[in-house]
A = this chain, B = another copy of it.
Amino acid sequence: MSSDSFYDWAVEEASPSRIGIRDVAAAAGVSPTTVSHALSGKGRLPDETRQRIASIAEELGYRPNVNARNLVSGKTGLLGIVVSASQETPFGLGDFDYFIQLLSAATGAAVERGRALVVEGVRSGPDAFGTVEVDGAIVVDPVSDDPLIDALDRANVPVVTTGRRDRPPAGGRPECWVDNDHVEATEEILAHLESHGAKKVGLISTAPVTSYTRDAISGYKAWCSLHGQEPMISTVEGPINEGAGFRAAEELLDLADPPDAIYATLDQLALGVLAAARARSLTVPDDLMVAGCTDSQASAWADPPLTAVLLNPEEIGRSAVSTLIDLIEAGDSVPDPVVVPTGIVERESTARLTGPGGVQAAGQAGSSRDSE
């Protein structure tokens, strides 16, 4: 009656008490020990037996009891995930859709490997969440002086960050991360803007407390120096919302020689840019091209729909979990960093030219590449 599958549309056939290792053993005509060894790759068994047992287990839909397993291993089976923050940066994250997608995928990946992911979002102090014992932790978008990260390191809790730390962990501890290549992604979106007719591109970004911001800025600067353009950067302080993007856009558009395209490192900022354009009766994309980083529903529904850099948060979440579990299980070897590919979803906000000459049809759903 309880403990049912979350999406149990077709309620499993009267669920005659769950399949256990003993059932698999009986079906295969071996002992539970052998099943355990076969499935875990331990013990001494011929490969043929291993495969036979594996296929029987598969067929029976055997899923080991997580609690029993954790009981033996002495682990809690809990992984923590937390959005990095610090005194100066109360909340480093600007994007709801991004976080929810990452979280959702990470949850799935964790459960698939027999762990549960517990979230800690607001951190008023060391007391919050004080009693949770986790086998490891994921820190999203680590900011420079987040005290939590040091605390985790000191407590020897395995940590994987999504986005890179600004300095390696103390005490020679391993550094594990999952990230996009934001330098490359920035160069690609800038190339996209240029190929669609942008003459001068401005950048709106947050303070460089996270690696993705630093990467975007350096990618932008590199691109500028390569194209002989003077960098035009407006940095947002305080909370990240459309109003902040609006003000930053005004700053850029008030320049003596204003840009005719703006790339914002967060979708909310880009939405603010659209508002600023509207306030000045600038047509998007003809007078001003706008693109943002991180796609969202709001971007897709904006007027006009926003071109966006796709960061693949699901893949980041899954990889982070997988890396963290590897880190927890392989005590000695350190898992390699993971770089998750990015993409661009092209929408009307940058549809000024398509290729050399020619105007792209203005449709709500732009073409998308690299989106699964």
Q: How many copies does the complex hold?
A: 2
Residue A52 CB within 8 A of the other chain:
no
Complex CA distance for A4 and B116, rounded to whole angstroms: 16
Q: Are B116 and A116 in contact (CB under 8 A)?
A: yes
Shortest Cβ distance from A117 into B: residue: B118
Q: What residues of chain B lie closer than 8 Å to A303, measured between beta carbons?
A: 243
Contact with A297, one of B117, B239, B301 (Cβ below 8 angstroms): B239
Contact with A108, one of B70, B128, B136, B154 (Cβ below 8 angstroms): B128
Q: Are B126 and A7 in contact (CB under 8 A)?
A: yes
Q: Are A2 and B135 in contact (CB under 8 A)?
A: yes
Complex interface bits, A125-158 against B, C-beta within 8 A gives 1, otherwise 0:
0111111111111000000000010011011111
Contact with A148, one of B7, B77, B239, B241 (Cβ below 8 angstroms): B7
Complex CA distance for A134 and B66, rounded to whole angstroms: 12
Q: Are A119 and B120 in contact (CB under 8 A)?
A: no
Q: What residues of chain B lie closer than 8 Å to A272, measured between beta carbons?
A: 242
Q: Are B246 and A8 in contact (CB under 8 A)?
A: no
Residue A86 CB within 8 A of the other chain:
no
Q: Are B78 and A116 in contact (CB under 8 A)?
A: yes
Contact with A242, one of B7, B131, B157, B243 (Cβ below 8 angstroms): B243
Complex interface bits, A92-135 against B, C-beta within 8 A gives 1, otherwise 0:
00001001110110011011100011111110001111111111
- What is the CB-to-nearest-CB distance from A127 to chain B, in angstroms, rounded to a whole number? 8
Interface of A (DSSP majority class) = mixed
Shortest Cβ distance from A68 into B: residue: B71
Q: Are A129 and B7 in contact (CB under 8 A)?
A: yes
Contact with A6, one of B77, B129, B275 (Cβ below 8 angstroms): B129
Shortest Cβ distance from A105 into B: residue: B122
User: Which of A63, A135, A242, A302 has most chain B Cβ within 10 Å?
Assistant: A242
Complex CA distance for A189 and B154, rounded to whole angstroms: 47
Complex CA distance for A110 and B279, rounded to whole angstroms: 47
Q: What residues of chain B lie closer than 8 Å to A365, measured between beta carbons?
A: none
Complex CA distance for A127 and B157, rounded to whole angstroms: 32
Known: A1-B156, A119-B119, A132-B111. A301 touches B239 (CB 8 A): yes
- What is the CB-to-nearest-CB distance from A234 to chain B, in angstroms, rounded to a whole number? 17
Q: Are A133 and B5 in contact (CB under 8 A)?
A: yes
Shortest Cβ distance from A267 into B: residue: B241
Q: Which 6 A-B pairs have the closest CB atoms?
A: A8-B155, A100-B121, A116-B116, A242-B242, A96-B96, A67-B70
What are 27 A-B residue pairs whose CB atoms fall within 8 Å in the complex?
A2-B157, A2-B328, A3-B74, A3-B134, A4-B134, A4-B155, A4-B157, A5-B132, A6-B132, A6-B134, A7-B126, A8-B151, A63-B131, A67-B68, A77-B116, A90-B297, A100-B121, A107-B118, A107-B129, A111-B118, A111-B131, A112-B131, A238-B301, A241-B268, A242-B242, A243-B274, A243-B275
